[in-house]
Amino acid sequence: MRIAVVSDIHGNLPALQAVVQDIARRGADRVINLGDSVSGPLLPLQTARFLMHSGWLHLAGNHERQVLTQGPGQWSAADAYAAAKLDAEALAWMATLRPNLALDAQIHLCHASPRSDLEYLLDTVEPGGVRLATAAEVAERLAGVSAPLLLCGHTHHPRIVRSAGGQLLVNPGSVGLQAYDDAHPHWHVIENGAPDARYALVEHGPQGWTAALIAVPYDAEPMARLAEQQGQTDWAHALRTGRMPRRETLPGVG
């Protein structure tokens, strides 16, 4: 069983299409999408339509929840743009998605952590920045989930970690946005240092589950220009470079 895992597409359809082509080249038995699929100043409706007809298993991310349950004055700029572009069919599809799912005895899926669609599972935010979560922190955030393989997203940070109990914990990174900053719970920056679209392949074999993190080059310039047209220069810089502009604070998207 080989599974391709995508997450945090954020309306970046060209990045998603590049990942789909790479998955087809490498081969996979199924594809799982861990959410935050459309929010952002790019192509939310076109991305939603692509995903609705993909035949993949999809989760909701925190941004799907926010688009559906918040409103003007509460939305971030990314969510407000998506909400303005999505049609009734796309919104109805989003409403069917869940943020947390025990797929079977082997695999548990969540957008962020099993207990929250906003909690970083494999990273910890401190006043000085972001660090790898300790084994004790991860164990607490797993909330009793014991499946041998757990797939999570949300942070846009590709990671493969083993829990204290030996579980394989995989964050595929972000398909569509390789850097962001956020003020919660402390101001911090996530940067992957390259604009390449990210995803993961997990596979079950004689030794159990294995995982590989994949980076796929694509032409990010059209999406960067589109972000600029919407006044989102931080997105444009992140799309081009995989890094954030060197400024004090910016509204987060994670």
- Distance between first and last Cα of the chain: 30
Cα–Cα distance, 51 to 48 (Å, whole number): 5
Both tokens assigned to 14? 């060209």
State the pLDDT at residue 250: 43
Both tokens assigned to 114? 């099993």
Cα–Cα distance, 119 to 186 (Å, whole number): 13
Q: Which burial class, exposed, middle or buried, applies to 105 when counting CB atoms under 10 A from its CB (0-12, 13-18, 19+)?
A: exposed
> pLDDT tens per residue, the chain (254 residues)?
899 999 999 999 999 999 999 999 999 999 999 999 999 999 999 999 999 999 999 999 999 999 999 999 999 999 999 999 999 999 999 999 999 999 999 999 999 999 999 999 999 999 999 999 999 999 999 999 999 999 999 999 999 999 999 999 999 999 999 999 999 999 999 999 999 999 999 999 999 999 999 999 999 999 999 999 999 999 999 999 999 998 654 444 55
State the pLDDT at residue 51: 98
The DSSP bridge partners found for residue 152 are none
2-213+230-240 maps to CATH 1.10.3720.10:
no
Cα–Cα distance, 101 to 247 (Å, whole number): 38
Question: pTM value?
Answer: 0.96
CA–CA distance from 127 to each of 91, 122, 143, 191 (Å)?
Answer: 36, 17, 25, 17
The DSSP bridge partners found for residue 149 are 107, 168
Contact assessment for residue 28 and residue 211, using Cβ atoms and an 8 Å cutoff: no
